[in-house]
Chain A
């Protein structure tokens, strides 16, 4: 398509997308590297060297049990990406299906689907996620489920809104006149035309998922020890805030950079894909 062809040229003129892309890439590379190598094992407890200051041996110091903070952060990145990717995929698949169905069928199906989405929106997502993990039990799987569920209505709304506009377009009317079934029209004509909106939304939801996972882990409801998680590292660091402030600093900065990177990337992509921007 013409928009896709014009993308690389316009990306160069957008510093947000460059910075966001670089930060996101760094996050992915760190996680990938941690699968192969970390300076120390993130599970290796070394009590005599607890709360060590950042040094050449331990770049970011050690935590209250003497574990290496760099190693824990690296493996924590894996954890954040795992939760983000799965939770967003769940939301993307279910939400898009629901939204596309609503746009294609209209009538009571649309009403029912959108009121269901409104209903889920009425609860603050993080509060509902806390409730859900408290109910199902703490753990990484349940936090993925909780975050995934609250991604569904977000994608359903984006899909339905964009899809309804596409359904009004002439080529869709032509396809309908030619007798194509609604499912075929949705797959062939509607989805490719709303893909950009979904990609932008997915990037931003990825950032939110990382933030929510950190919040759940901070509250002790997400990833369970000893599996490292940025949110739980923050919680653990809180007790030593006066003796070892760097323990709170490093995971805090990691969360901030990851979320910032994904948000910049999302914003940049939106600017790129937006047809109004294309006319400039």
Chain B
């Protein structure tokens, strides 16, 4: 079995001494990443791995989401918003060029957003761009965007990898040879092994960039991740997967370990249209049967913050709603009886590959068995999950982490795979969009979180931790992961 062979090879490598550190300051960096991206155009593929490689490095958007999760200007130097919150006027940064030499102008913004909203677009956030009523480009450095309805997250959405600005002539080839305005240009991609980026000398602020070359090495196996770090093959591993080996790195002077948070809302998703899961009492029973602490301990080594709704403590106007669905098997049994469900209730539990699902799912199944729910586990690969669960909605329960920030809007789509159809929730989200000031917006955002928790659309479990293991001396890596990105411009060797 080749994977075993890899592990053995990695073990053998781990026993070799690490190479002696070079005398002069290093300017190359090897970053480990878990999943290989299926292409390098974040505006056409849904995989978070695309943004991990390309965002801020190759491509830039109008706005930037910072390491703290706040909003900052990037290709747009400043902007104004109309009183009805439907028209945004951006003043673009001047003198910016794409890596193929073309100048960056307002026409490129119009092209990129129109492409994302086009009928054949496969943009993950297509709905955001489909809401654009008009894009005006009065001059090359100004863009005015009018929305069909107010969207409180619009500026934030433009900062995600799905909103980056492409160059029209090269856009179709971006999946294999990405061209953007960022500080690094694409150099090579060894399929299945690594992707290498090199510093682009034509970048507007090239002197401030500390790295000459950066390689993303793809290592999905947790044991191989540990081995690669120990052997010195990888300089840093953001989103490190082998949580059980953290103690080893924390006790080793050659490494630094940081534990932050992500936007990864790990949930037990429930098919709200299937009987008897369409009954809120049954969904509440399922949620009450699950001990979040046990899941966090077993699946994430005790690291992770419990949540009670589809919202994380990093998000604005977060409220802790875990108290609405505490661990209470007796109450769960009572709720099932009240709903008239005949026991044992047989359900399927579909588990994709990550440990939070494969390990956490077995804990959930054991806990559900306690209240008389027999959850039959089906383990699937990502492709099967995307097709069977996400696209065809053929499932009862599934464990999944939603890593997109502030994505409450997925609950407003009755066709989303949760199949949650609530006019009340949609009305609340509309009020969030139309809110005149931050205070009113906050009140409606709190109402939205509470609504999801009360309707118990899914069993909301915990936020995935962001664990980074790096060699001593690597500075500038993000501790938290408000979006899935590795901002290499900020990284350097100390």
Contact = CB atoms under 8 A, between A and B. Distances in A.
B379 A225 contact: yes
B260 interface: no
Given A47-B298, A225-B379, A65 B359 contact: yes
Contacts of B408: none
A218 B1 contact: yes
Contacts of A243: 244-245, 248
Nearest to A224: B377
Q: How large is the interface on A (under 10, 10 to 19, 20 to 34, 35 or more residues)?
A: 20 to 34
Interface stretch (A21-29, A233-241, A267-275): A233-241
B278 interface: no
Given A45-B362, A226-B365, A238 B221 contact: yes
B297 interface: yes
Nearest to B223: A241
Interface string B228-241: 00000000000001
Contact of A215 (B1, B245, B294): B1
Interface in B366-408: 366, 376-381
Interface in A216-232: 218, 220, 224-226
A131 B222 CA distance: 26
Contacts of B376: 224
Nearest to A218: B1
Interface string B25-59: 00000000000000000000000000000000000
Nearest to B353: A220
A260 B456 CA distance: 53
Contacts of A242: 223, 226-227, 242, 244-245, 248
A244 B3 CA distance: 18
B379 A51 contact: no
Nearest to A138: B379
Contacts of B358: 225
Q: Helix, strand, loop or mixed for chain B's interface?
A: helix
Contacts of A226: 362, 365-366, 377
B282 interface: no
Contact of B355 (A50, A138, A215, A239): A239
Contacts of B363: 45, 47, 65
A64 B377 contact: no
Interface in A186-219: 215, 218
B226 to A, nearest CB: 5
Contact of B294 (A43, A47, A241): A47
Contacts of B324: none
B259 interface: no
Interface residues of B, number: 33
B244 A225 contact: no
B7 interface: yes
A48 interface: yes
A51 B244 contact: yes
A118 B7 CA distance: 36
Interface in B285-305: 294, 297-298
A218 to B, nearest CB: 7
A276 to B, nearest CB: 38
Interface string A5-49: 000000000000000000000000000000000000001110110
A269 B242 CA distance: 47
A225 B1 contact: no
Contacts of B380: 138
Contacts of B378: 137-138, 224
- Give the residue among A65, A215, A241 with the most B Cβ atoms within 10 A: A241
Interface string B92-127: 000000000000000000000000000000000000
Interface string B190-233: 00000000000000000000000000000001110011000000
Contact of A238 (B7, B248, B359, B381): B7
A29 B229 CA distance: 44
B377 A225 contact: yes
B396 to A, nearest CB: 15
B251 to A, nearest CB: 13
Contacts of A137: 378
A64 B358 CA distance: 11
B115 to A, nearest CB: 35
A241 B7 contact: yes
B223 A239 contact: yes
A244 B366 CA distance: 23
Contacts of B355: 239
Contact of B222 (A47, A50, A65, A239): A239
B171 to A, nearest CB: 35
Nearest to A48: B297
A275 B223 CA distance: 52
Given A215-B1, A224-B379, A243-B245, A45 B298 contact: yes
- Give the residue among A43, A44, A48, A64 with the most B Cβ atoms within 10 A: A64
A117 to B, nearest CB: 27
A51 B242 CA distance: 14
Nearest to A215: B1
Nearest to B227: A242
A254 B351 CA distance: 27
Contacts of B362: 45, 65, 225-226
A143 to B, nearest CB: 13
Closest 4 CB pairs of A and B: A241-B223, A239-B222, A47-B298, A47-B297
13 contacts: A45-B298, A45-B363, A47-B298, A65-B298, A215-B1, A224-B379, A225-B351, A225-B362, A238-B7, A238-B222, A238-B223, A240-B222, A243-B244
